[in-house]
Structure 1
Amino acid sequence: MPRRPMHVTGAAEAPLRAALRELRTRLEVPADFPPDVLAEAAEAVKSPDLSGHRDATDLPFFTIDPPTSKDLDQAMFLERREGGGFRVRYAIADVAAWVKPGGALDREAHARVTTLYFPDERTPLHPPVLSEGAASLLPGQDCPALLWTIDLDAEGRSVATDVQRALVRSRAKLDYEGVQQAIDAGTAEEPLALLKEIGLLRDAQEIARGGISLNVPEQEIVERPDGYHLAYRAPLPADGWNAHISLLTGAAAADLMLGYGTGILRTLPSAPQGAVGRLRRSAKALGIDWPHHVPYADVVRGLDPRKEKHAAFLQECTTLLRGAGYTVFTGGELPDPRIHAAVADEYTHCTAPLRRLVDRYAGEICLAAAAGRGTPEWVLTALDALPQEMADGTRRANSIERECVDIVEAALLRDRVGEMFDAVVVDVKEQQPTVGTVHLEEPAVVARIEGGGSRLPLGERLRVRLTQADPGRAKVQFAPA
C-alpha cells in the first residue's frame, strides 16, 4: 500500500482526473495485461494447483478491508487457547497455486513488481480474474491459502508458529467501520471481539521493544463548484488492530527464515539525523509540540489523526521510512544488520502476495522452513535478483506517489496563485541557499521555494507568495514574499 493514501472524487473530465491520466501515460504505466498473460490467467482459474492443501474450510474466517476492495489477501480467525493466551489463524492468498514459475503470469508479475496506486484508480500486479476473483479470499468461495497458525501467550507474545498450505473459505467480508461499531457496541462475536484484545496486547509489545506504527490518514480530494477541497479520513482503532495481525505474521515469518538459514527480510536502518531534523521543522510549521528530550515515537503516539495538522504531520513522518530495502540470505549466513527500525524487530513482507511480488517468495520459504524441507528451486533461482527488482518497483511506486502529491497540491492551490501564506523553511539546498522547501501552516502543503537574494532561514517562519500551481503542468512553487 502507498505510504500516503489518497482518494479523488469528481467527474472524469475534471482537470485533476485528466492530469492523473496524463501522468499514467507519461510514465508508461501499463493499462492492460498482454493477451498471453490473460489467457494463462483464464486457464489457471480452471485448474489451480491444490496439491498439498489440507481442508480447513471448517474454520469461519473473515476478512477486514475497505468496503470496495476485491483483492483480499488476508483472512483471519481468532480464538482463545486452553490454559490462557490466544491462537491466531491467518490465511494468506496462495498466489503460487495459480502462477506457474517462468510462465507468462510470472514474467508479467516480475515486470510489474507491485500494484500501483493512484488517487483515482490502481494498476494491479495480477489480472483481476485472479486478484479480484479466483485467488482473492472473497466470502463464500473455497480458496487455496497459506494458513499461518501463531500461538500467543496471555501478554501477546508469540510462542509457536506454523504455516501450511490449506483450502479455506471466508464467511464474511467486513469493513473497518462495521468492525469498530460492533466491537464498541459489544455485539461482536468472540473471534472478532478478540481483535481488539490481541491488538492492544501487540501494541503494548511494540511500545516495549521501541517500535512505532504510523496511523497515516487517507486524504480525500473532493471537487466542488468553488474548487478542490482536502479532507482526511482518520484511521480507526480497528485499522491498527488489524495491522498488528499482519505485523505479527511478518515477524513470525522472519523468525522462521532466520532459523532456517535462507530467506528475504524487509530491513530499515535508523533514520539519519538530517531526516529527523527536517521532521522537527515540519512539526514546528504545523504547531506540534516536540520538546528536544521527547523521542520521536512518543510524539507520534500522542498525535490525534482526526486533527488536520496532526494528520498532516503523520503524512510527513513517512519520510523516515526512506531507505527500507530487502536483504537476502542463504546457507545459514545471517545478515547484519537485519532489523527493521520502525518495527524494532526482524520482519519480512509475506501477507500481501496479490499486490506485492516478494510476498509469494517469502511465503514459499516459510512453508519449506516449517516443514523442514528444501526450498523450491524456482524460489532459489529468483532470490538473489529480488531485492533489486523490488527496489526498482518500489522506486517507481514512490515516484508515482510523489507525482500524485504534486498534482493534488497543485489542484488545491490552482486558484490561489499570487496569494500570501505563512510557512516554515524545512530544507535548504547546500549549494543553492536561496532554494529549498517550505511547509505551509495552512493548508498543510510542502513545496519548493526559490527566488530572492538572501539565504533562506532554515527552520524559521517565513511569509511566502504562491508563484505557480497547475495540476499536470506546473508544480506548486513559492517565493519569499
Structure 2
Amino acid sequence: MLNNDALQQLKQLKQQLKSQKEVFSATVKDSGAKSGQVILDDGRQIFLPQEEMQKVFPHDRIKVTLCVDSKGQDFAEVEELIDSSLSEFTGQIIGRGKAVFVEPDVGRLSRWIFIPPHQLSGAKAGDFVRCRITQHPIKSGKPKAEVISIIGHPDQPYIEHNYIIDKHKLDLAWPESVQAEVDAIEAQAQEAIASANRKDMTCLSWLTIDAESTQDMDDALYAEALTDGGWLLRVAIADPAFWIKPDSALDVEARKRSTSVYLPKQTIPMLPESLSHNWCSLVPGEARLALVCELKVSEQGEVVSSELYQAKVRSQAKLSYDAVSDYLDGVEDNSVATENPELLPVIDCLQQVQEALNAYREQHAVCFENRPDYYFELDEQGKIAAIHRQHRSTANRLVEACMIAANCAAADFLAQKAPKAIYISHSGVRSDRLEDVKKLVAELLPEFDTEALNKPEGYRQLIHSLNNKSVDVPLRTIVSRQLERSLFSLEPGFHSGMGFERYTTFTSPIRKYNDLVLHRIIIALLDEQPVPEVATGLLDELQAGQQKARFSANEVEQWLKCQFMEDKVEQTFTATVVQVNPFGVLARLDDFGIDGFVDLRRKDPKFAYDPLYQQTSNGEQQFMLDQSIEVKVSSVDMKRRNLKLTLVAS
C-alpha cells in the first residue's frame, strides 16, 4: 500500500504528464452508438472510445487530449467539461429490478439515466416525464437525474399530444398580463370597430372558405366581372395589428410563439381565442376590421394593377371547402346552392378568376404539383380511427390562387415603398448539388441551357421546358429533392420554387407573427407614418419558431401513424417511392400517406445506387422516384417510430 508521500508524488507525476500534453477544445457529436466522435475547434473529427463516450452527452463542450492506439489511430481522452447543453429533457421511466431509470428522448442519445428513489416524484414505470440532470457523467461515467413533472401514462387519452407539447415546451396557458390586455380589448371592441375611420365595404357580399372546423377566419373573398373584360378581385385580411400594439404583452407572447401550431385535432393558437376566434376573425354577420388587397385581373390572368387599403368588412357566410367544391364540381343538392343562393354569382366569379390566375401562373411562374393530402380521424383516446386521402379540391385551389395573388401584390408594394420588410426567398438548387443537377438535365434535356440553373430563375425555366416535353425519368421530382429551403429575408429576392420575382405572405396575421409584422409595416406606409423596423434577430426567431411547430406536428403524426399500423403487419399495400438511397427505398403507402423503408442491402443480386438519377437497380429490378410498387408491412418499431416494409414479388 502506498504511503502519503508516494501518493503525492504519483499525483504530481500525473499532473506533470497532463501539463505536457496539448489540450484541445471540442464538441461531442450526436451519436446513437456506444463510441463516438468529437469535433475539434479546428474542424478535425477524432474518435472517442466507448469508455470516454460514457463521460459525456451529445453536444457537450469539452477539453480533450489526443492519443494514439496500438494500431496508430488517433483517439481522444476527455479531460474536462466546459459546458453541457443537456439540462432538462423528456423521456419514459424504465424499471429494472429495484433500480429506476429514464430513457431520454434527446436526439440520438441511447443510454438510460439513473433516478434515485427519492427523486422520482411519484413516477412509475412506463410514465412519460420531464427530468433534470443532477449529476453529469464527466467524473464517474454515471449520470443521474430527477423527475420534475409527470406528463402522463401511455394509456391516457391524447398522451401523444401532451407529451410532444411538453417536450417542445409549447405554451397552452396565457400569462396574466396577456389576459388583462385581452379583457381591455373586449370591453371596447364593438365601439372601436364602429368608430374606426376606414373605408366601409360591409355592403359587399364577402364570403369565407375554410375547413368546417376553422374558427380563426383570417381571409374573406369577393369578386365581380368588369364591363371592359377581366375581373376585380378583393381579398380582405383580418387586421389584428389594430388591436395588438408593438411591445405589448400580447405582442411579446405572439412573437414568442411565432405561429399557431396545428396538431391532429388540436390547435395551439398564436393569439388568445377571444381574439383569433372573434374580434380578429372575419366571422359571418359581424363588422370586422381588415386590410384589403384589391386586384384588377385581366382575362388572361395577369394582375394589371393592385391597391392596398384599410376597410371594414362583413362576411355574409362561412362556407366550407367541401361545400364550395361540391357546388363548383356540379354535385346535385349541394348545400351552397340551397342555403346561400345569393352568393353563387360571387363564387362563380371567383372560380373564373382562379382559372385565369392559374393559367397565367402556369405560363409565367411555377404551379404546385397536385399531390394528395391525408386527414386523420381521431377517436376519443386521441388515436387514429381512420385516415382519409384527399386531393386538393376545387375550392382549395380557388382560395390558394387568390391568396398567392394578394401576397405577390403585397411583396410588390413593399419592394417599392419600404426600405426593409419580411420577404420569403428561395435560391433554387443547392450549391452542393448544382453540378449533378446540371449534368442530369444536360443528359435528359440536351436543348436546355444548364447555365441558367446558376441563377434562381433557372428552376422556373426548367419547369417550363419540362411542361413542353415528356421524359422517361421523373426529372422534376429529382430536381425538387435537391432544392434549398425557402428562407425569410429583409430584402426582396427571387422565389425559385414558385417562380416569382419576389414573394411574401401577409394573409395569415392571426396565425403567423411575420404576417402580423407586415401588416404594421403596410399600414404605416398607407398612413404615411414612420415604418417600424424589423427587430434584430426576428427572422432567425421566426424561422426557429416555425421549425419547432413543424417538428412538433410531425412527431405527433408519426407516433399516431405507427400506432395505426401496428395491427396491419403482414398486410400488403400499394406504395409510391419517395426517396432512394444506397441502402434501399423509402415508400409512401398510397392509402394512408405513411412512409416505410424497404431495405435492399441483403438482396441478391446486389443493388447499385445511382446518385445522379436517384435510382437503384440490380439488373433484375429497378426503383426510381414516383414509381408505384407493392409492399408488405414487415414490422413497426414504436421506439424509433418507423415502419419496415418488404417488397411483394410481382
**Fold conserved between structures, TM > 0.5:** yes
Counterpart in 1 of 2:426? 268
8 Å CA contact 1:230–1:412 kept in 2: the answer is no
How far the C-alpha of 1:348 sits from its partner, in A, is: 0.7
Shift of the alpha carbon at 1:363? 2.2
Which range moves more in the overlay, 106-115 or 31-40?
A: 31-40
Q: Does 1:237 align with 2:394?
A: yes
Greater alpha carbon shift after TM alignment, 439-448 vs 238-247: 439-448
Match of 1:24 in 2: 165
For residues 436 and 318 of structure 2, the distance between their equivalents in structure 1, rounded to whole angstroms, comes to: 41
Q: Whose RCO is larger (CA < 8 A, sep 6+)?
A: 1
Q: Which structure features the higher share of helix residues?
A: 1
SS for the counterpart of 1:404 is helix
Q: State the Cα distance separating 1:427 from its structure 2 match.
A: 4.2
Say which of 110, 121, 134 aligns to 2:266: 121
Q: Residue 338 of structure 1 corresponds to which residue in structure 2?
A: 494
Contact 1:16 1:407 in 2 (8 A): no
CA distance in 2, matches of 1:423, 1:387: 36
Q: Is the 8 A contact 2:428 2:484 kept in 1?
A: no
* Alignment check: 8 A CA contact 2:231 2:298 kept: yes
Partner of 1:180: 325
Contact 1:425-1:456 within 8 A present in 2 as well: no
For 2:538, the aligned partner's letter is L
Structure 1, residues 24-50: CA drift from partner, whole Å, max 9, x if none? 222222122222212211211223465
Match of 1:476 in 2: 642
Matches of 1:235 and 1:394, distance apart in 2: 23
Which residue, 424, 438, 460 being the options, matches 2:586? 438
Compute the RMSD of aligned alpha carbons.
4.0
| 2:238 aligns with one of 87, 90, 93 | 93
Q: Which SS does the other structure have where 1:117 is aligned?
A: strand
Cα separation, 1, equivalents of 2:466 and 2:553: 25
Amino-acid identity (%):
21
How much does 1:319 deviate?
6.4
* Cα 1:299/1:216, change in 2 over 3 Å: farther
**1:133 Cα deviation after fit:** 1.1
CA distance in 2, matches of 1:30, 1:159: 44
Q: Note closer, same or farther for the CA distance 1:367–1:97 as it changes in structure 2 (3 Å cut).
A: closer
Deviations 1:406-450 (A, max 9, x none): 21331232235577988869344xxxx65x762256665334577
Question: Based on CA coordinates, which of the two structures has the bigger radius of gyration?
Answer: 2
Q: Residue in 2 aligned with 1:207?
A: 362
Compute the TM-score of the two structures, normalised by the length of structure 1. 0.77
CA distance in 2, matches of 1:111, 1:99: 14
Give the C-alpha shift of residue 207 in structure 1.
0.5
Per mean C-alpha deviation after superposition, the further-off stretch among 168-177 and 212-221 is: 212-221
> Is it true that 1:415 corresponds to 2:567 in the alignment?
yes
Give the direction of change, closer, same or farther, for the CA distance of 1:423–1:229 in structure 2 (3 Å limit): same
> Which protein has the bigger strand share?
2
Deviations 1:299-341 (A, max 9, x none): 8999xxxxxxxxxxx9999967861111113xxxxx4x43352
- Tell me the equivalent position of 1:325: 487
Letter of the structure 2 residue corresponding to residue 404 of structure 1: V
CA 1:318/1:191 → structure 2, altered by over 3 Å: closer, same or farther?
A: farther
Alignment partner of 1:393 out of 545, 548, 554 = 545
SS at match of 2:355: helix
In structure 2, relative to structure 1, the CA distance for the partners of 1:298 and 1:95 (3 Å cut) is farther
Deviation of 1:343 after TM superposition, in Å, equals 4.4
CA distance change for structure 1 residues 392 and 91 in 2, over 3 Å: closer, same or farther? Answer: same
- Residues 235/410 of structure 1: CA separation in 2 closer, same or farther (3 Å cut): same
Distance 1:18 1:298 in 2: 49
- TM-score (normalised: structure 2): 0.58
- Pairing partner for 1:362 from 495, 515, 518: 518
Matched residue count = 431
Residue 218 of structure 1 aligns with which residue? 373
Partner of 1:246: 403
Aligned residue for 2:222?
A: 77
1:181 shift after superposition = 2.9
2:353 is aligned with what amino acid? I
Q: Distance in 2 between matches of 1:124 and 1:328?
A: 26
Distance 1:474 1:257, change over 3 A: same
TM-superposed deviation, 1:141: 1.0
